[in-house]
Structure 1
Amino acid sequence: MWKTALKPRWIAGLIFALALSGVFVLLSQWQFGRSTQPEIPVNPSTEKVKALTDTLQPGDFFHGSVADQMVTAQGSYDPGKQVLVAGRLHDGKSGYWVVTAFAVTGAPVLTGTAATPQTWIPVARGWLADPADAAPPPSGTLELTGRLLPSESPVPATDPGPGYATAVSVAELINDWGVSSYPGFIAASSEVANGADVGAAAAAGPLKPLNIGPQPATQQINWLNLFYSVEWIVFAGFAVFIWWRLVKDDYRRELEDSLDYAYGEEPGGEADDGNAGEQANIQTHPSSDQNQQKVQP
């Protein structure tokens, strides 16, 4: 069969089938790419810095519409309210986030039994590779700018130890700090004191900036496009299968023709066994014995 497949016309047919299959594979990749698209595109308005007090209210739920919003706030840090959150990556290395309580100037004051006269918000100030390098936050009044993010879920049944937290969980932190807080936290990008940036991005030291961008939008699967991508793969395999079937049929025809020649038949004709001519002569020329019998009286 390989001899048949190596005929020039079937080699050309194979090249055409492979080229056609390649086109089908590309179409499959295109359809697969269209099957997973963002449900909601990234909102460019989140990059416009807004006042924290105008964006989110303490004691309220954290609304998804304000997630990733760049915000600014004035206030001061409390060096006694600072924790390290382990298991955070930075440039492929595992380390710690430094999270400090920030008293927001002009923030609404909550009421209730456990409410405090000042409203706070946790701020992830930067990343550290070694917890021993953790330093107190900048002192004095600061103008903080960063990305507003929702509270994380704490790791259950885990005691991180004094000065540590399992996650940037507002519920966990306000219990440890004993303060009223906003329902989210800020990943700081700059901390300005007296006109100078004293944050991790500007100061050279072990504390590295987080550089958290807007989170990617949720993905949804378009099952119709996913089905089309699988269908194009089937078509690619079917093109090669058709070529193989044509070669196999050609091989069988050649095999049948060779068998016909071997038995003395014309390809597609009837057998010539050599007896047909003799039978015709017998019928055309009766034997002499038969003629004699007819002449006798």
Structure 2
Amino acid sequence: MLKTALKPQWILALLGALLVASGFVLLSQWQFDRSKDAAPPPPSTTERPVPLTEHFRPGEPMMATDADQVVSAEGAFLPDRQVLVRNRVHEGQTGYWVVAAFQVDGAENDAAIPVVRGWQPDDAVPAPAPTGGLTVTGRLLPTESPIDGRQPDAALASLSVAQLINLWDVDAYSGFVVAFDVQDDDGAPAGAAESGLEQVAVGPQPQEQPINWLNVFYGIEWVVFAGFAVFLWWRLVADDYRRQQEDLEDEAAHAAQLDPGQQDPAPTGPAQQDPTPTGPAQQDPAPTDPARHRPATDSKDPK
């Protein structure tokens, strides 16, 4: 078996199998790396307010490192651009978020960002957003997926920036801010309580690192494929060795048929011989009749 495996063709095949297996192992490692989602930033980073215009730009997709950050922005609420978002739970009760468009000073193209002003238990028309220059501080969160249509209460089913852009006809950030604090230019509060709303609280994300089990399964599959590449090479070598052994057995059997010395001698011995009569001397004598060889005599008596 070892001599067969050391043939040049099988050595080259082994190198190819190892190369393929190495590629599968690298793919497996890549899947295992992707199975661990990036851990959220620590609260020591996310809970320190930073300017929105320095942290995130309008029109860009929000990454995990951008979300969950507490930001502050200066600007003003746009008039007549306020909606309700239903099915929002606050202290165990389901109600509505009040969301208004806040135009950010210094943002590209005068972009606006949706701001969750507060929560209310019903679909009543909320108080209008405060006017004038304001400073909003809150947690930046990614946009939600859109849900088709409105319900009879005219409230949206999700806080989707794509839907709000169509409703408000303004450039916007691809995310929204849940306001914790709103102050006017004089530093007076102008938040949820001042508008008859309940304050919405959103805490930081849990710090555990989530695992994507689908990627783990794919990583195990690539390891199995790597082992199968080496097993296939071994199986081909074993088949070649088996064919060689069968050919040697066939050659030995054929040589035995052609070599008389390898045949069993014919049995000999007096008892086993069956001589074939040859020549006249070896033939049995014909039976004779004594009367026919009697000498001729006269039938009459001599006188």
Q: TM-score, normalised by structure 1?
A: 0.55
1:124-160 Cα shifts (integer Å, max 9, x gaps):
110001222511011111001000000001223x323
The equivalent of 2:190 in structure 1 is 198
Give the structure 2 partner of residue 31 of structure 1: none
Contact 1:68 1:148 in 2 (8 A): yes
Q: CA deviation at 1:81?
A: 0.4
| Cα distance change, pair 90–222 in 1 and its aligned pair in 2 (3 A) | closer
Instruction: Describe the superposition over 1:63-92 as per-residue Cα deviations: whole angstroms up to 9, x where unpaired.
Output: 110111000000111230000000000010
Report percent identity of matched pairs: 45
Larger radius of gyration: 2
Asked whether the 8 Å contact 1:145–1:190 carries over to 2, the reply is: yes
Judged with a 3 Å threshold, the aligned counterparts in structure 2 of structure 1 residues 179 and 160 are, in CA distance, closer, same or farther, namely farther
Aligned-pair Cα RMSD in Å: 2.4
Query: Take 1:222 and 1:176, find their aligned partners in 2: how far apart are those partners?
Result: 36
Structure-2 change in CA distance of 1:64 and 1:39 (3 Å) = closer
1:50 positional shift = 0.4
Match of residue 207 from structure 1: 197
Given that 1:38 and 1:217 are in contact with CA atoms closer than 8 Å, whether structure 2 keeps it comes out as: no
Residue 30 of structure 2 corresponds to residue 40 of structure 1: no
**1:108 equivalent in structure 2:** 108
Q: Which contiguous aligned blocks of 4+ residues in structure 1 show a shift greater than 6 angstroms?
A: none
- Give a deviation string over 1:73-113, Cα, whole Å, max 9, x none: 0011123000000000001000000000001011012xxxx
Contact 1:189 1:209 in 2 (8 A): yes
Structure 1 stretches lacking a partner, 5+ long: 1-36, 110-117, 224-297
> For residues 108 and 220 of structure 1, do their structure 2 counterparts lie closer, same or farther at Cα, with a shift above 3 Å needed?
closer
Aligned to 2:271: none
**Which residue identity is paired with 1:195?**
G
- Residue type of the alignment partner of 1:75: G
Q: Where in structure 2 are the equivalents of 1:251-262 lying within 5 Å?
A: none
CA contact (8 A) 2:39 2:210 kept: no
- Structure 2 match to 1:178: 169
Task: Report deviation, 1:197.
Answer: 1.3
Equivalent-residue separation in structure 1 for 2:212 and 2:80 (angstroms): 51
Q: Residue 126 of structure 1 contacts residue 210 of structure 1 at CA under 8 Å; is this kept in 2?
A: yes
Task: Give the structure 2 partner of residue 55 of structure 1.
Answer: 55
Where is the strand percentage greater, Structure 1 or Structure 2?
A: 1
Q: Tell me the amino acid that sits aligned with residue 88 of structure 2.
A: R
User: What is the rounded CA distance, in whole Å, between the counterparts of 1:86 and 1:49 in structure 2?
Assistant: 28
| Structure 2 SS opposite 1:148 | strand
Structure 2 residues not aligned, in runs of 5+: 1-35, 214-303
- 8 A contact 1:170–1:181 mirrored in 2: yes
TM-score, normalised to structure 2's length? 0.54
How many residue pairs align between the two structures? 176
- Contact 1:155–1:166, Cα closer than 8 Å, also in 2: yes
Distance 1:104 1:222 in 2: 37
Q: How does 1:235-274 map to 2 (within 5 A)?
A: none
Matched, 1:152 2:144: yes
Deviation readout 1:168-188 (Å, 9 max, x if unpaired) = 100010011111001100000
Contact 1:84 1:164 in 2 (8 A): yes
**Alignment match, 1:279:** none
